[in-house]
């Protein structure tokens, strides 16, 4: 692998928004679980079918698994995001296009982190509501929404990555 330029990518207001709001969402997720843990019954929903209805149940301590997983993913991607020159790219990275490619890649990771934590917040919130008898399911629209959102995210990422701009020569 050829050496790629190492460039410090400066954040703009949008970058700060995604980063700060992501950390706040992660904090909200933990607060949600900690505040509601003692109210939960001993058995809570732990899996949902394609229609969004619970189809498996586990001990209430499993409510901590999703926030823990979200935290590990969020922190891991935050660390990874410091090294955009190590990422895999569809197009060749040159000194002419490195800043644009790295900026987009780090923003994509930031948005991905945010989306993962938001999804974990939603699922955890709905799990708590179902366990407390306030809701019956997470909603049948969640699976098509996740599939469509993922596909749109991938298409936008690929199209942006291969797009040529005059400075890319």
List, for residues 13-47, the tens digit of each pLDDT value. Answer: 999 999 999 999 999 999 999 999 999 999 999 99
> 57: which 2 tokens?
């149940």
Chain mean pLDDT for the chain = 90
Name the 3-class secondary structure at 92.
coil
Determine which helix (DSSP H) or strand (DSSP E) holds 58, and give its type and residue range: strand 54-59
pTM: 0.85
pLDDT (tens digit, 9 = 90+) per residue, 115-159?
Answer: 999 999 999 999 999 999 999 888 878 778 888 888 888 888 778
Residue 165: predicted pLDDT: 65
Q: What is the distance between the alpha carbons of residues 103 and 160, in angstroms, rounded to a whole number?
A: 11
Q: What is the pLDDT of residue 1?
A: 54
Percent of the chain scored above 90 by pLDDT?
60
For the segment 108-113, the average pLDDT, to the nearest whole number, is: 92
Mean pLDDT of 68-82: 97
Which pLDDT score is estimated for 75? Answer: 98
User: What was the pLDDT predicted at 141?
Assistant: 81
Which pLDDT band, with edges at 50, 70 and 90, does 51 fall under? confident
DSSP per-residue letters across 15-55: HHHHHHHHHHHHHHHHHHHHHHGGGS-SEEEEEE-TTS-EE
**pLDDT tier at 168 (50, 70, 90 boundaries)?**
low
């Amino acid at each position: 692998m050829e050496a790629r330029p190492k460039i410090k990518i400066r954040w703009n207001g949008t970058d700060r928004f995604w980063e700060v709001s992501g950390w706040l969402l992660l904090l909200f997720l933990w607060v949600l679980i900690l505040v509601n843990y003692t109210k939960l019954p001993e058995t809570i929903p732990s899996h949902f079918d394609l229609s969004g209805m619970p189809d498996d149940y586990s001990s209430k301590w499993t409510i901590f698994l999703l926030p823990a997983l979200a935290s590990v993913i969020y922190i891991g991607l935050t660390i990874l995001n410091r090294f955009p020159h190590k990422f895999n790219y569809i197009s060749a990275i040159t000194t002419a296009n490195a800043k644009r490619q790295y900026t987009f890649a780090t923003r994509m990771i930031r948005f991905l982190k945010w989306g993962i934590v938001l999804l974990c917040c939603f699922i955890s919130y709905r799990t708590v509501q179902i366990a407390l008898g306030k809701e019956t399911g997470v909603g049948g629209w969640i699976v098509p929404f996740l599939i469509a959102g993922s596909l749109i995210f991938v298409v936008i990422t690929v199209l942006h990555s291969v797009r040529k701009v005059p400075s890319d020569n």
